[in-house]
Amino acid sequence: MIRSQAVSLAALLLLGGPVYAGSFEAYVATTAGKPVEDSVVVVEPVVKAVARHHSTATIEQRDRELVPYVTIVQTGAAIDFPNRDPFKHHLYSFSPAKRFEIKLYAGKPAQPVVFDKPGEVALGCNIHDWMEAYVLVVDSPYFAKTDGNGRAFITNIPPGHYRLRLWHPRQNSEPPLREIEIGAAPTQLNLAMDIAPRIAKQKPPVEADHY
Ligand SMILES: [Cu+2]
**Taking the alpha carbons of 175, 181, 184, 189 in that order, is the dihedral positive or negative?**
negative
Task: Tell me the per-residue pLDDT of 31-64, one tens digit each, with 9 for 90 and over.
Answer: 999 999 999 999 999 876 666 666 789 999 999 9
pLDDT classification of 90: cutoffs 50, 70, 90: very high
Distance from the alpha carbon of residue 126 to the mean position of ligand 1, in angstroms: 6
Distance from the alpha carbon of residue 87 to the mean position of ligand 1, in angstroms: 8
> Phi and psi of 163, rounded to 5°?
-110, 140
Sorted by where each starts, the structural domains of the chain and their CATH numbers stand as 19-50+141-198 (2.60.40.10), 52-139 (2.60.40.420)
For residues 162 and 46, the answer to whether their CB atoms sit within 8 Å is yes
Distance from the alpha carbon of residue 130 to the mean position of ligand 1, in angstroms: 9
Q: Report d(CA 144, CA 27) in Å as an integer.
A: 12
DSSP-derived 3-state class of residue 4? helix
pLDDT average, residue stretch 25-34: 95
Q: What per-residue confidence (pLDDT) applies to 188?
A: 96
Q: What per-residue confidence (pLDDT) applies to 55?
A: 77
Distance from the alpha carbon of residue 63 to the mean position of ligand 1, in angstroms: 9
The residue among 139, 143, 133, 198 whose CA lies nearest residue 166 is 143
pLDDT classification of 7: cutoffs 50, 70, 90: very low
Q: Cβ neighbours of residue 140 under 8 Å, at least 6 residues apart?
A: 42, 43, 44, 45, 50, 74
Q: Is the peptide bond before 68 cis (omega within 30 degrees of 0)?
A: yes
Distance from the alpha carbon of residue 15 to the mean position of ligand 1, in angstroms: 51
pLDDT classification of 87: cutoffs 50, 70, 90: very high
Torsion, Cα of 106, 112, 115, 116 (10° steps): -140
Q: Of 3-7, 8-12, 27-31, 207-211, where does the model show the most confidence?
A: 27-31
Distance from the alpha carbon of residue 148 to the mean position of ligand 1, in angstroms: 26
> Is the pLDDT score of 70 beyond 60?
yes
